[in-house]
Amino acid sequence: MPDLDLTASSVDLTRVICDIPSVSGEETPLADAIEAAVRALPHLEVLREGDTIIARTDLGRAQRVVIAGHIDTVPIHDNLPTRDIDVDGEAYLWGRGTVDMKAGVAVQLRLAAELVAPRVDITWMWYDHEEVDADLNGLTRLSRTRPELFAGDFAILGEPSNGEVEGGCNGNLRALVRTTGVRAHSARAWVGENAIHRAAPILARLAEYRPRDVEVEGLVYREGLNAVRISGGVAGNVIPDACEVEVNYRFAPSRTAEEATQHVHDVFAGFEVEVVDLAPGARPGLDAPLAQEFVAAVGAEPRPKYGWTDVARFSAMGVPAVNYGPGDPHLAHHDEERVPLAQIVSVERGLRAWLSAP
């Protein structure tokens, strides 16, 4: 098991933890390393639930902040080990996980070790399975088994936000839209009914769909409804009797999960629709006093979060939450994933200043 030196710089920690592969479902080696490192810190109470590590201060402060980051990544695609690169005169760390979101985790680990007496009590959470279905998410599991650990006045997710504060997040829905037909030999196609051809109206509705821009508490969220996968076919000489179009709906936090589900059924009226994954969004949560103090302290102008993040989980549990981490969200999951070194340092500085302020 690799050792993590939490006295190292956040940049060096990012290199180390990125070079420990932790694709969703394979997080155990990194979780083991994190657990060993934080258990050596006497000012933290450490718990483990599967591959999710929780470390807490208990200083009797009047307020508690939860700071969380996921330790898994999407699959590696010839982009490990990490390497230092220069882009237009700026220093970057390149490689899988540098943006989403091990640079944010590195900052958190560095500060968890350093901040022995922060201004608020802190619950640090490093969790598994964020990049896959919501039911597998480490925070989903933890919310069922230890919901009291989520108690706090404010939460920060270290998701990539270009070092800015991103409030709330869009909801995320995946659904299968199905067609059926009748199998036949392709030489006698008129005997059958082609299920793939019957999917043409589904694609037409998607091509004609115009997503909304929705203002929620001063932030404008962009929605989107897109086909992400099509499956069908039996063999090269068989008319297919079934076809599925998987669609992904990103919906503004002003919609409930039920409203989003109904919207997808309305768009694809006349077709069989099965929702297979659904995660509600989160309103910005920037009206909370601690959120306002945090935004002022880091000197950021809040923006909306277009992707789904676990701020939604905290919001559902009554804890206002924002996203704040190094890295450009546009490079998350990208083969050229890379994070500016200066941004890692800047986010660490901002969090430290706020958490250390009297």
* Residues acting as catalytic residues: 72, 130
Helical packing angle, 28-39 and 103-114, nearest 10°: 20
Nearest to 182 by CA among 192, 168, 170: 192
- Give every strand in the sheet of 272-279, ordered side by side: 224-232, 242-251, 171-180, 272-279
Question: How far is the C-alpha of 167 from the C-alpha of 116, rounded, in Å?
Answer: 28
Q: Residue 325 has which token pair? A: 């981490």
> What is the widest separation between alpha-carbon atoms in the chain?
80
Query: Which region, left, alpha or beta, applies to residue 218 given φ > 0 means left and ψ of -120 to 50 means alpha?
Result: left
Question: How far is the C-alpha of 279 from the C-alpha of 256, rounded, in Å?
Answer: 10
Cβ proximity of 144 and 48 under 8 Å:
no
Question: How far is the C-alpha of 199 from the C-alpha of 161, rounded, in Å?
Answer: 37
Question: How far is the C-alpha of 191 from the C-alpha of 324, rounded, in Å?
Answer: 58
Residue 222 identity: R
- Render 175-219 in DSSP notation, one character per residue: EEEEEE-B-EEGGGGGGSB-TTGGGHHHHHHHHH--PPEEEETTE
Nearest to 265 by CA among 173, 199, 180: 173
Question: How far is the C-alpha of 135 from the C-alpha of 220, rounded, in Å?
Answer: 28
